[in-house]
Amino acid sequence: MEKKWWHGKTAYQIYPKSFYDSNGDGIGDIPGIISKLDYLKELGADILWLSPVYVSPMADQGYDIADYYGIDPRFGTMEDMDRLLEEARKRDMYILMDLVVNHCSDEHEWFRKACEDPDGPFGEYFYLRRAGENWEKELPCNWRSYFGGPVWNRLPETDRIYLHVFHKKQPDLNWENPGLRDEIYKMINWWLDKGLAGFRIDAIINIKKPLPLTSYPADREDGLCSMDTVLAHAEGIGEFLGEMRDRAFAPHDAFTVGEVFNDKEGELEDFIGENGYFSSMFDFRETLEGKSEEGWYASRKPTPDEYKRCCFESQRRSEGIGYLSNIIENHDEPRGVSHYLPREAQNETGKKLLATMYFCLKGLPFIYQGQELGMENIEFRSIDDVDDVNTLDEYQVALKAGLSEEEALKAVNQYSRDNARTPFQWNSEENAGFTTGTPWLRVNPNYTEINAEEEMGRQDSVWNYYRKLSALRKDPAYRETLVYGRTEPVLEEVSGIMAYFRRGEGQTILVIGNFTGEPRQVELPELEKGRKRLLLDNDLLWEKEKKEAAAVPCPAYKDGKLWLKPFQAQVIEL
């Protein structure tokens, strides 16, 4: 694989609205991010992806953009953005923005012009269809929007309807129109010229619709079919993505990471292979495990063995093809520690275990804000605590399926996107030090225990463990192996144990973790050979670790056997 500047970096996702509020209005902002760059640097983050900060009515928290060239005043000004780019550059950090081009906001000028003149040029920017009085009963197709209900809505004050696969305030852009594509590439180039390192690319698989728009078999009682079914019928997305690469990303050598669900068998190479559409894409395999087509209420958490299988599947399918980006959570997912860890491992040891297992996989590790503290899901007191449109819809789905209000709340609480969107927990002061005003979303009450200030001051904290993981991956002695070495799963059939080798040139590193509450002994012939050096252990206390890690062989091996305590994780050079 051709080496790229970003392969050995640590990436970090900022959800600006909840990161740090600099002016007391309860909303995080760009000056707030600037003031925390040193914090991020200290952690080891190099590449920062900002969820959208463009002008937006916030129907979907900024993923509904009304002006691609403007910063929403809630987040600051264009001068602030320029300053952020400048301050990041000074620290050798790279900024990615979110590229949301499957849809815009219904408050975007393009949409307003389409309403004024649906037959004019801007009508062609969207998917419009003629509609009579009875349009709700005669929809052009029966697709279900991701946030519930049909994908059609009335184009205000016209005899047309428009398509929206997300919220009704997010009309889909018509990528079949070359004029629209020109506008998008122009905008991307404008941002890259400003000095962005690249983009995270939102919901991109949705840009190619199967045409003509038709209905597919219904999969729920609402008579609608899921977008998964729809996308399985779409062919030819490569023409758009290849063009976007050639006309926008490639000339700038931009780093791009795609939010790609629903890619088809064998397509990985086109997406992230040599001259792929993107530099990388997220591995979402484990986020899908346990999800039911019926909705969140019928979904269940993956078991540790399922988690392991998903990770290994992704490692296998990407080996020799491209470089995936690895996560345990993001702004659309529950907190990873609450989702993937068994109940008895919901503590600092367990959090470090999960961190070790995903961070050492081959691929670019992304940390989502607060993950480095071990932030957890929040408990909703009532549905009024919920802001997220997706959660509000899933709550209704659960009620319709017959759950009581209490059951429905509990069910959606597990998966709600708001779990990850609660304000960042900076310290144990009021509002977790996030704002001096009233936070836009309730702070998780556990901030008195889980917060950056406390953890940065404590050597054996989750925060310091993340810092060490990032430093280890960049350590010249191990970098080649941890960044480029092949992943070779071992002990795959052993339930409750997740283990893999990273094989570099003349170097092998074992990453192993015990996901059970029992001490476990495993046998690995490789442990008999040669000198062993413990690189990281979630069980050792700092002082002891410093002494022992030096060059002392690991005490827990004998005759090819290794003892692991409950939820212990180790990284060992063999």
Active-site hit among 172, 259, 283, 348: 259
Q: Binding of ligand GLC at residue 333 (CB under 6 A)?
A: no
What region, left, alpha or beta, does residue 275 occupy, with left being phi > 0 and alpha being psi -120 to 50 degrees?
left
Q: Binding of Ca ion at residue 34 (CB under 5 A)?
A: no
| Shorter beta-carbon distance to ligand GLC: residue 46 or 202 | 202
Q: Which residues pair with 534 in a beta bridge?
A: 572
For residue 259, the partner it binds in Ca ion, ligand GLC, none, with Cβ less than 5 to 8 A by kind, is: ligand GLC
| Shorter beta-carbon distance to Ca ion: residue 29 or 72 | 29
Q: Which of 191, 186, 162 is nearest to 174 (CA)?
A: 162
Written as six digits, the tokens of 64 are 């509904």
Q: Which of 294, 361, 287 is nearest to 331 (CA)?
A: 287
Least separation in angstroms between CB 495 and ligand GLC: 33
Least separation in angstroms between CB 394 and ligand GLC: 13
* Residue 301 contacts residue 290 (beta carbons within 8 Å): yes
CA distance 554 to 518: 20
Q: Binding of Ca ion at residue 21 (CB under 5 A)?
A: yes
Give the interface segment with Ca ion, choosing from 23-31, 81-89, 225-233, 453-461 (CB under 5 A): 23-31
Which of the residues 379 through 398 are near Ca ion (CB under 5 A)? Answer: none
From the DSSP assignment, how many helices (H) and strands (E) are in the chain?
18, 21
Q: Binding of ligand GLC at residue 72 (CB under 6 A)?
A: no
* Residue 18 contacts residue 489 (beta carbons within 8 Å): no
Least separation in angstroms between CB 403 and ligand GLC: 24
For residue 11, the partner it binds in Ca ion, ligand GLC, none, with Cβ less than 5 to 8 A by kind, is: none
Residue with tokens 């758009």: 240
**Which whole-number Å values give the CA distances from 177 to 125, 181, 542, in the listed order?**
7, 7, 59
| Shorter beta-carbon distance to Ca ion: residue 27 or 534 | 27
CA distance 27 to 431: 12
Among 49, 75, 152, 166, binds ligand GLC (CB under 6 A): 166
| Shorter beta-carbon distance to ligand GLC: residue 51 or 299 | 51
* Residue 295 contacts residue 395 (beta carbons within 8 Å): no
Let me know the angle formed at the C-alpha of 109 by 240 and 31, rounded to the nearest 5 degrees. Answer: 90
Which of the residues 243 through 262 are near ligand GLC (CB under 6 A)? Answer: 259
* Residue 514 contacts residue 541 (beta carbons within 8 Å): no
* Residue 390 contacts residue 61 (beta carbons within 8 Å): no
Q: Binding of ligand GLC at residue 332 (CB under 6 A)?
A: yes
| Shorter beta-carbon distance to ligand GLC: residue 103 or 352 | 103
Which of the residues 176 through 235 are near ligand GLC (CB under 6 A)? Answer: 202-203
Active-site hit among 21, 64, 106, 202: 202
Using Cβ positions, the residue closest to Ca ion within the complex turns out to be 29
Q: Binding of ligand GLC at residue 63 (CB under 6 A)?
A: yes
Tally of residues, the chain: 574
Strand positions, DSSP E, 195-253: 198-201
Please give the helix or strand (H or E) that residue 490 lies within, else none.
strand 486-490
For residue 571, the partner it binds in Ca ion, ligand GLC, none, with Cβ less than 5 to 8 A by kind, is: none
3-class DSSP assignment, residue 198: strand
| Shorter beta-carbon distance to ligand GLC: residue 126 or 166 | 166
Using Cβ positions, the residue closest to ligand GLC within the complex turns out to be 63
Q: What is the largest CA-CA distance in the chain?
A: 79
For residue 63, the partner it binds in Ca ion, ligand GLC, none, with Cβ less than 5 to 8 A by kind, is: ligand GLC
Least separation in angstroms between CB 168 and ligand GLC: 13
For residue 207, the partner it binds in Ca ion, ligand GLC, none, with Cβ less than 5 to 8 A by kind, is: none
Among 4, 25, 267, 549, binds Ca ion (CB under 5 A): 25
Give the interface segment with Ca ion, choosing from 5-13, 14-22, 38-46, 523-531 (CB under 5 A): 14-22
Number of residues that bind Ca ion (CB under 5 A): 5
Least separation in angstroms between CB 259 and ligand GLC: 6
Among 45, 100, 257, 562, binds ligand GLC (CB under 6 A): 100
Among 21, 29, 60, 106, binds ligand GLC (CB under 6 A): 60
| Shorter beta-carbon distance to ligand GLC: residue 20 or 166 | 166
For residue 23, the partner it binds in Ca ion, ligand GLC, none, with Cβ less than 5 to 8 A by kind, is: Ca ion
| Shorter beta-carbon distance to ligand GLC: residue 29 or 259 | 259
CA distance 159 to 133: 8
- The dihedral through the CA atoms of 139, 145, 149, 152 has a sign that is negative
Q: Which residues pair with 160 in a beta bridge?
A: 130
Looking at residue 143, the DSSP 8-state letter turns out to be B
Least separation in angstroms between CB 463 and ligand GLC: 25
Least separation in angstroms between CB 21 and Ca ion: 4
Catalytic residue check, 202: yes
φ/ψ of residue 68, rounded to 5: -70, -15
For residue 203, the partner it binds in ligand GLC, Ca ion, none, with Cβ less than 5 to 8 A by kind, is: ligand GLC
| Shorter beta-carbon distance to Ca ion: residue 51 or 170 | 51
Using DSSP bridges, classify how beta strands 364-368 and 11-14 pair: parallel, antiparallel or unpaired.
Answer: parallel
For residue 332, the partner it binds in ligand GLC, Ca ion, none, with Cβ less than 5 to 8 A by kind, is: ligand GLC
Helices of type H across 401-444: 405-415
Using DSSP bridges, classify how beta strands 325-326 and 364-368 pair: parallel, antiparallel or unpaired.
Answer: parallel
Least separation in angstroms between CB 108 and Ca ion: 24
* Residue 574 contacts residue 485 (beta carbons within 8 Å): no
Q: Binding of ligand GLC at residue 329 (CB under 6 A)?
A: no
CA distance 113 to 18: 33
CA distance 481 to 464: 22
Q: Which residues are catalytically annotated? A: 202, 259
Residues forming the site for ligand GLC (CB under 6 A): 60, 63, 100, 166, 202-203, 259, 331-332
Residues forming the site for Ca ion (CB under 5 A): 21, 23, 25, 27, 29
